[in-house]
Chain A
Amino acid sequence: MRSQWVLAKLQFRTLHRVFFLRLVDLDLLSADADLTRLIGQFAVIFCTFSFVISIPLMLMNGGTLAMTDAWMFEHFLIETTMTVAGLIVVLNWDAAFPDKRDLLVLAPLPVRKSMLFVAKVSALFAAPALAVVALNCFSGLLWPFLFRADNSGFMGMLRAIPAYWFTIFAASGFLVLTILTLQGLAANLLPRQMFLRLSAVLQAAIMCILVSVYLLEPSLESPAALTSPQNQRLLEWLPSYWFLALFNQLNGSMHPALVPLARRAWAGLAISMIGTCTALLLCYFRLMPKIVEQPDILPQARFASWSPSFGSPLTEALTLFSLRTLLRSRQHRMIFSFYLGIGITIIVGYVNTTPTGLRSAKAAISTSFLFASILMMILTVTAFRVVASIPISLPANWIFRMTQVRARWAYQKGVRFSWLTLAVAPVLLFVIAGVLAVYPWRNAIEHFGVMVCLGILLVELCLFTFPKIPFTCSYLPGKAQIHFVFWAVMMVFLRLLTGAARFEERLLSRPLSCLMAILAIAFAALGIRYLSGARGAETEEMLFEEKDPAQITMLKLS
């Protein structure tokens, strides 16, 4: 009996570790990749965020907070934590269920289905739980002192800390469990192949909803807003406010306006827990045989394999390879849609803050439209740059090396075309459709000219820093920092962008100045293209690795 328990514990530990570390796809990391370092990087980012939002605010507010201010900060912390936990689960979408590889590898071993289930689920919850702890490691200890109920003294402080942590975990758990319930329901109700196809859409939709709700959620943290009849419908759909109420209930600082929301939080938590348990158990014990027996992907319809012609065979091969990877790889699609979702959200937010919205009082292109189109161009090209640097399958790259029968410049030409087609052209279509439908044709053409040159300039900048075939290069974990740097400068960048949009608005009223600006951007693009070409001429071979791979991987045992 005891030996069985020991064996089960050992199996659990082993499987839990494997499943947890697999949350980051090992195939995407280069030979030198250190998975624990990558996870550590994320933890440090979250801890830094927690520190940054805790210390200065504590100092600024002098240790006391008015009720509405306290609600605002409580809501911000709950909402942020919920969103991060939700995003982690969405990004690890497939981690909830055993895949074919798990079943084929583990089936011959003496591992029970229940053990597989427990290890998988515990690994799945470990990632958002760690993120929640890291994200609140400072704020979860400091902010509760300010959130304590009035006149509650030292005991109030002691009560606020567990209330805060319970609420944070309950809120994150609610979101995580709701997402898993939705996924489990879809897996149980739909035929497997249809589920696999729709699941990608569901994942992208949940990702967009999470990001949009976080950025667009209205501020209702006052008794008046919470009790206003016109906000009641909205509050029913905003779980972060339910958990704000729950925190105040546990903290002993309950306001009558929060009572129905707290009730909703408890109910939501219970329903999501029951839903997840049912859906996951059904998935594991009903669907596991089907996972092994049925193919994951069905043949596509014949018409779907029609491919357009893109000039030279090489250009066509590279463009179609990039397009198919972007469309079919869940991970690439997710990251791409995340950036686009952010862009759309910022645009909606920006347009809502301007009095005239996308329309202009002066029969000219509005600043909002200019802002929207420039931002979308920059974010789309940046998103493509980010996903292009993540490989689809490193071992399969040999075919590109083996078939390199042309000079490097021919590949660069093909890659450039694929970037322009997949990242720049869709934005240009959106811009031309928008400007021609609403604004005078002269301004429309001028703005279109600016956007074409801007798109080319951005692509040339990307090709200068990334002279490789998209989706074929190994991904160094340290490079992940580029994302954080990007988001860190985003706020500054948005201010600059607003200035740029206003500058362009002024330029559009002066055709000559506009032409000069277009030429300046075009010359900049040509300059970078020349530099890329000069650098590319140094070698004939295409690059696939950040650095030459070692032929033998050192185990570093000592």
Chain B
Amino acid sequence: MTMFEVRNLHKRYLGIPALDHVSFIARPGEVTGYLGANGSGKSTTMKLATGLIEPTSGEILFAGRPINDDPMGYRQRIGYVPEEPHLYTHLSGLEYLVMVAQLRNMDRNTANSRIDGLLHLFGLHGDRDVALSSYSKGMRQKILLSAALMHNPDLILLDEPFSGLDVGSSLMFRSLINELAKRGKVVLFSSHELETVERVCSHVVILHRGKVVADDSIEHLRVLMALPTLEDIFSQLAVESDSEAVSREIADLIHA
């Protein structure tokens, strides 16, 4: 089974723990939400999962094999949308996608037809020859998504993919993620938008200070914690401060 498994993952940056023995499983056919406050270790997990950084200890398995056994074969099977849309902005949208297809060793005809289709479907065809430096954040995000999906990956890692997208595009992306999961892809979806996560994901992993504090289906968590929404569950598990009290303090501070 092509499931994605994180086993006892531990990562320290200069002695400071970013991830503390994290374990979870993301299965094909379902969207796994990966939640946590800022600095909880979500992006670190994503970078570890893509092989951009090495863990201090623990391992990540895909389809039953550690990803380091065959990193090149693994990279061929993953699609990744990073949190920040870092692109080579001197290239046009089309040039960037063609370059990624070539780097991924895709067949030229397949790549051309998929790139053309994706640009049409994402509404970027008219701007395909415009330099990426002139693209809006949402347009860049669509290019990143196209680059992540065009080789039909088995594992899709999405780190805040809705950032900068307009409402229409967000709704379309939401459906797209569900559709991809239905077709047997493993989708790991990291986001701060709890409402979206609640609608898209069947299973969530909640991180707090580098540790997994919840790993279950949303439905089961609701019943277990006797809380009506994911927002309430998240606040209970991963938010330490009283948000209303803090907001009052901020308002007091700037009025003083």
Contacts and interface: CB of A to CB of B under 8 A. Distances in A.
Is A bound to B? yes
Interface string A297-318: 1111010110100000110110
B89 interface: yes
A321 B98 CA distance: 11
Contacts of B89: 393, 396
B100 A305 contact: no
Interface stretch (A136-144, A323-331, A360-368): A323-331
B92 A300 contact: yes
B250 interface: no
A159 B197 CA distance: 79
B80 A402 contact: yes
Interface string B106-145: 1010000000000000000001011101100000000000
B54 to A, nearest CB: 10
A313 B134 contact: no
Contact of A403 (B14, B95, B104): B104
Contacts of B73: 405
Contacts, number: 106
A437 interface: no
B129 A552 contact: no
A314 B88 contact: no
Given A297-B130, A399-B100, A405-B72, A552 B14 contact: yes
B92 A305 contact: yes
B147 interface: yes
Given A299-B130, A324-B95, A404 B86 contact: no
A263 B76 CA distance: 71
B75 A405 contact: yes
B246 interface: no
Contact of B99 (A321, A404, A552): A321
B75 A403 contact: yes
Contact of A402 (B52, B91, B102, B131): B52
B105 interface: yes
Contacts of A314: 102-103, 105
A402 B80 CA distance: 8
Contact of A551 (B13, B98, B130): B13
A297 B76 contact: no
B51 to A, nearest CB: 8
A398 interface: yes
A442 interface: no
Most buried by B among A302, A407, A551: A551
Nearest to B11: A551
A317 B108 CA distance: 12
Given A324-B90, A403-B104, A299 B75 contact: no
Contacts of B99: 317, 320-321
A300 B133 contact: no
B102 A316 contact: yes
Contacts of B88: 321, 325, 392-393, 396, 399
A396 B50 contact: no
B188 to A, nearest CB: 15
B94 interface: yes
Given A297-B130, A299-B130, A404-B72, A393 B86 contact: yes
Contact of A313 (B78, B86, B91, B102): B102
A400 B103 CA distance: 8
A233 to B, nearest CB: 43
B101 A313 contact: yes
A297 B135 CA distance: 10
A538 to B, nearest CB: 16
A405 B76 contact: yes
B154 to A, nearest CB: 14
Contacts of B134: 295-297
B219 interface: no
A189 interface: no
B14 A300 contact: no
B179 interface: no
Contact of A406 (B86, B95, B105, B106): B105
B227 interface: no
Contacts of A300: 92, 129
B82 A305 contact: no
B121 to A, nearest CB: 20
B158 to A, nearest CB: 14
A392 B105 contact: no
A382 B180 CA distance: 49
Contacts of A295: 130, 134
Nearest to B101: A313
Contacts of A298: 130
A392 B106 CA distance: 25
A108 interface: no
B16 interface: yes
Contact of A401 (B52, B90, B92, B131): B52
Interface string A516-558: 0000000000000000000000001000000000111000000
B63 interface: no
A56 interface: no
Interface in B1-33: 13-14, 16
Most buried by A among B78, B88, B131: B88
A328 B90 contact: yes
B48 to A, nearest CB: 12
Nearest to A294: B134
A448 to B, nearest CB: 32
Most buried by B among A314, A399, A551: A399
A305 B104 contact: no
Nearest to A315: B102
B86 A395 contact: yes
A405 B52 contact: no
B161 to A, nearest CB: 15
A483 B193 CA distance: 50
Contacts of A297: 130-131, 133-134
Contacts of A401: 51-52
17 contacts: A297-B131, A298-B130, A313-B105, A314-B105, A320-B95, A325-B88, A329-B90, A396-B87, A399-B87, A399-B100, A399-B103, A401-B51, A401-B52, A403-B75, A403-B103, A551-B53, A552-B14
Given A305-B95, A313-B108, A540-B72, 19 more contacts: A296-B133, A297-B134, A299-B129, A300-B129, A317-B102, A320-B95, A325-B90, A328-B131, A329-B90, A392-B90, A395-B86, A396-B87, A399-B88, A400-B103, A404-B72, A405-B72, A405-B76, A406-B72, A550-B14
